[in-house]
Amino acid sequence: MKLILDAFGGDHAPEEIVKGGILALEADPALKLVLTGKGETLTGLLSAADPGIRARTEVVDAPEVITNDESPTEAVRAKKNSSLVRAFERLKEDPEVGGLVSAGSTGAVLTAGLFKLGRIRGVNRPALAPLLPTLTGGQVALVDCGANVDCKPLNLCQFALMGGAYVKAYCGVKEPRVALLSNGTEDKKGNELNKEAFPLLKALPGIRFVGNMEARELLSGDFDVAVTDGFAGNICLKSYEGMAKAMMTLLKEEMLSSFKNKMGAMLLKGGFKKVAKRMDYASNGGALLVGLTKVVVKSHGSSKAVTISSSLLQAKKLAESGMVDEIAANLAAAAAE
Amino acid sequence: MKLILDAFGGDHAPEEIVKGGILALEADPALKLVLTGKGETLTGLLSAADPGIRARTEVVDAPEVITNDESPTEAVRAKKNSSLVRAFERLKEDPEVGGLVSAGSTGAVLTAGLFKLGRIRGVNRPALAPLLPTLTGGQVALVDCGANVDCKPLNLCQFALMGGAYVKAYCGVKEPRVALLSNGTEDKKGNELNKEAFPLLKALPGIRFVGNMEARELLSGDFDVAVTDGFAGNICLKSYEGMAKAMMTLLKEEMLSSFKNKMGAMLLKGGFKKVAKRMDYASNGGALLVGLTKVVVKSHGSSKAVTISSSLLQAKKLAESGMVDEIAANLAAAAAE
């Protein structure tokens, strides 16, 4: 399986991105990588790797870089020689390549995904779908978490179908429990969008719709897919992130506040790290950009090597799983109803 | 200052509610309470209190109870003898009474507030505004967190003006920093609603609008008021709640996972409790229903005595602060522009 890595996207590009690529190649001998970016720099960075690893890499020289400050549409149009645009072009053209990973600007990845790669037939709007670890040891996909800030009920239905196919393919959940993120659990709760979407989701073939869910139940383990418009989804995701950060900050303060607490903290250090790591969804891989004709994983902008490696292995698993075909089939079945 | 306590609203009514009332009366000798609910039960529960405390209470017999399962509009209309409706009627009629606390159904409190009490002149939609503790030791008001799931830009502007007056009066913040909750910090970020509201907020006299904020920054201490529609606000609030619960669950698991961890947990127990308590916004008092002609505090449905007492003291402080007049003045000034 060959994947593409946008080696110049992300806060720690290109060093950490390339390191992450090498880590993934070391972890999976069946993986091959195409790295896009400044050719000389990449060749230099790759020279640190084992010759056996290097033999499974290819460098595509793309000297331009798209940054977070640029307008995504303009940048994707203007910077034809950027690491991101060249990555998407290769993804589209090369039948051997199954997927792409980028830690670059979310907006630019979305734009390039739409205009350089293209949507699965029947998909109106691709969506960003991160996987969050639940309290029962599973994962829940939050679809959409920011690609589409204004949605129609039809979009939410498609998010449900795509999210279902995603967790089926990636997490092995046979009948994903799909819920609608709302301001209460009762059927009649919700804003206008949700109220219109609710009966459509209920009638949708191919998913197991379990009704409305509250944001505080996201990690309960009772749901496999949480469907929402990208605005509310973004608020939800970042609120979870904000509270995790706040709790860790306060706990650290407490741990240093007395000798007794310092002793306790020393003993509990390992346990804390485990919890912090488990709740740090960003380091567990990337958010899938679901609805495109090939697998595209958007890794967190702050991704370091380990996260990039996770994102690559996630992309490989998804590319091999037949998820794209599953989504196409789900959408065709729903359209035929 | 006389306040009204809906003694039959909430999961732990009436015992914990009455206990909370007694606690507040003990804490503040200048407080008087009118309790509404089943007269005999209330008189019985109050007999446990000191005669000096009892002398500052009055019982209004209102034998009906409005539950969470009822349609708020129908319940408020039909149950004229309910603890909630009688409480609001007294609040409206009695010039001596400055405010009301209820832990009953949020929907019913909102409905009764609108139809039995009434809005401040110029306020289109009252809003639910909880105060959350920030990492820098202050508080931030989240307006709206669920009263209005579908909003117009004008509503968000009024939330800003009301929220500003709230934190001025209650937290003593002289020039409250008001931000718009969005999916990014850049000016152009947001859904349709936010994009329309942004320039209006920027031009609004009487508030210090500091731009868009991300949900993960809510507790940073950089903001005094976060403005949002009630749907996104509800998702935000409950996500913070969900992550706090998730972290505490995982930490507790870790603490029991080995002998070493158990030892550490014993030492750190006090510190943990402090953090859990600080992040448990529900126990710090209630959410203000801002925009009504008198102070109405909605205490969490699961409120026990201590929370009810906090909510009462919060209501008293607000009633004495002149916040309602401040809101009226803010709105009049904005309308005159």
**Inter-chain contact B235–A241, Cβ cutoff 8 Å?**
no
User: Quick check: A281 pLDDT over 80?
Assistant: no
List, for residues A253-271, the tens digit of each pLDDT value: 888 888 888 888 888 888 8
A313 in the same domain as A248: no
B276 touching A, CB under 8 A?
no
Radius of gyration of chain B (CA): 20
B1 in the same domain as B90: yes
Residue with tokens 């909370």: B20
User: Angle at Cα A132 formed by Cα A126 and Cα A133, nearest 5°?
Assistant: 155
Residue with tokens 């488990």: A278
pLDDT value at residue B61: 97
DSSP string across A275-335: HHHHH-GGGG--EEEETBSSEEEE--TT--HHHHHHHHHHHHHHHHHTHHHHHHHHHHHHH
**Inter-chain contact A235–B236, Cβ cutoff 8 Å?**
yes
User: Quick check: B285 pLDDT over 80?
Assistant: no
- Rounded CA gap, A214 and B229, in Å? 16
Q: What residues of A are in contact with residue B152 (Cβ under 8 Å)?
A: none
**Inter-chain contact A251–B236, Cβ cutoff 8 Å?**
no
C-beta separation of A274 from B254 below 8 A: yes
Whether A331 maps to a domain, the answer reads no
Please report which confidence band the pLDDT of residue B238 belongs to, taking 50, 70 and 90 as the band edges: very high
B105 in the same domain as B4: yes
Task: Tell me how close the Cα of A181 comes to any Cα of chain B, in angstroms.
Answer: 8
List, for residues A100-151, the tens digit of each pLDDT value: 999 999 999 999 999 999 999 999 999 999 999 999 999 999 999 999 999 9
Pick among B228, B250, B253, B278 to test the A interface (most A CBs inside 10 A): B250
- Of B150, B192, B275, nearest to A192 by CB-CB distance is B150
Q: What integer is the mean pLDDT of B63-87? A: 94
Whether B236 maps to a domain, the answer reads yes
Q: What residues of A are in contact with residue B215 (Cβ under 8 Å)?
A: 234-239, 241-242
pLDDT value at residue A283: 65
B231 in the same domain as B303: no
**Single pTM value for the model:** 0.94
A269 in the same domain as A139: yes
A298 in the same domain as A281: no
CB proximity under 8 Å: A 43-62 to B: none
A198 in the same domain as A70: no
B107 touching A, CB under 8 A?
no
A240 touching B, CB under 8 A?
yes
User: Quick check: A45 pLDDT over 90?
Assistant: yes
Two tokens, residue B157: 């502007």
**Inter-chain contact A264–B264, Cβ cutoff 8 Å?**
yes
- Of A190, A218, A235, nearest to B242 by CB-CB distance is A218
**Inter-chain contact B239–A244, Cβ cutoff 8 Å?**
no
B137 touching A, CB under 8 A?
no
pLDDT value at residue B334: 82
**Inter-chain contact A251–B214, Cβ cutoff 8 Å?**
no
Whether A306 maps to a domain, the answer reads yes
Whether A113 maps to a domain, the answer reads yes
A154 in the same domain as A245: yes
**Inter-chain contact A135–B246, Cβ cutoff 8 Å?**
yes
DSSP string across A223-282: -SEEE--HHHHHHHHHHHHHHHHHHHHHHHHHHTSSHHHHHHHHHHHHHHHHHHHHH-GG
Residue A151: closest CA among chain B residues belongs to which residue?
Answer: B191
Pick among A149, A192, A220 to test the B interface (most B CBs inside 10 A): A149
Residue B221: closest CA among chain A residues belongs to which residue?
Answer: A246
Whether A327 maps to a domain, the answer reads no
pLDDT value at residue B256: 86
Task: Tell me how close the Cα of B239 comes to any Cα of chain A, in angstroms.
Answer: 5
A146 touching B, CB under 8 A?
yes
- The CATH number of whichever domain residue A34 belongs to comes to 3.40.718.10
Question: For chain A, how many helices (H) and strands (E)?
Answer: 12, 12
**Inter-chain contact B231–A191, Cβ cutoff 8 Å?**
yes
Whether B82 maps to a domain, the answer reads yes
- The SS3 of residue A75 is helix
A138 in the same domain as A51: no
Task: Tell me how close the Cα of A71 comes to any Cα of chain B, in angstroms.
Answer: 11
Q: What residues of A are in contact with residue B187 (Cβ under 8 Å)?
A: none
Q: What integer is the mean pLDDT of B199-219? A: 95
Residue A276: closest CA among chain B residues belongs to which residue?
Answer: B247
User: Quick check: B284 pLDDT over 80?
Assistant: no
**Inter-chain contact B278–A250, Cβ cutoff 8 Å?**
yes
List, for residues A63-96, the tens digit of each pLDDT value: 999 998 889 999 999 999 999 999 999 999 999 9
- Of A242, A247, A264, nearest to B216 by CB-CB distance is A242
Residue B272: closest CA among chain A residues belongs to which residue?
Answer: A251
- Rounded CA gap, A75 and A105, in Å? 10
- The SS3 of residue A53 is helix
Task: Tell me how close the Cα of B262 comes to any Cα of chain A, in angstroms.
Answer: 8
Whether B177 maps to a domain, the answer reads yes
A304 in the same domain as A245: no
Segments forming the whole domain that contains residue B140: 125-286
B188 in the same domain as B90: no
Two tokens, residue B94: 């009695």
pLDDT value at residue B10: 94
Whether B330 maps to a domain, the answer reads no
pLDDT value at residue A136: 93
Please report which confidence band the pLDDT of residue A333 belongs to, taking 50, 70 and 90 as the band edges: confident
Q: What residues of B are in contact with residue A268 (Cβ under 8 Å)?
A: 254-255, 261, 264-265, 268
B257 touching A, CB under 8 A?
yes
B213 in the same domain as B115: no
**Inter-chain contact B243–A239, Cβ cutoff 8 Å?**
yes
List, for residues B102-145, the tens digit of each pLDDT value: 999 999 999 999 999 999 999 999 999 999 999 999 999 999 99
User: How many domains in chain B?
Assistant: 2
ipTM summary value: 0.93
- The SS3 of residue B120 is coil
- Rounded CA gap, B95 and A223, in Å? 50
- Rounded CA gap, B5 and A274, in Å? 45
Q: What residues of A are in contact with residue B254 (Cβ under 8 Å)?
A: 268, 271-272, 274-275
Nearest to B316 by CA among B283, B294, B301: B294
Nearest to A83 by CA among A99, A98, A114, A105: A105
Q: How many CB pairs under 8 A join A and B?
A: 184
Task: Tell me how close the Cα of A140 comes to any Cα of chain B, in angstroms.
Answer: 14
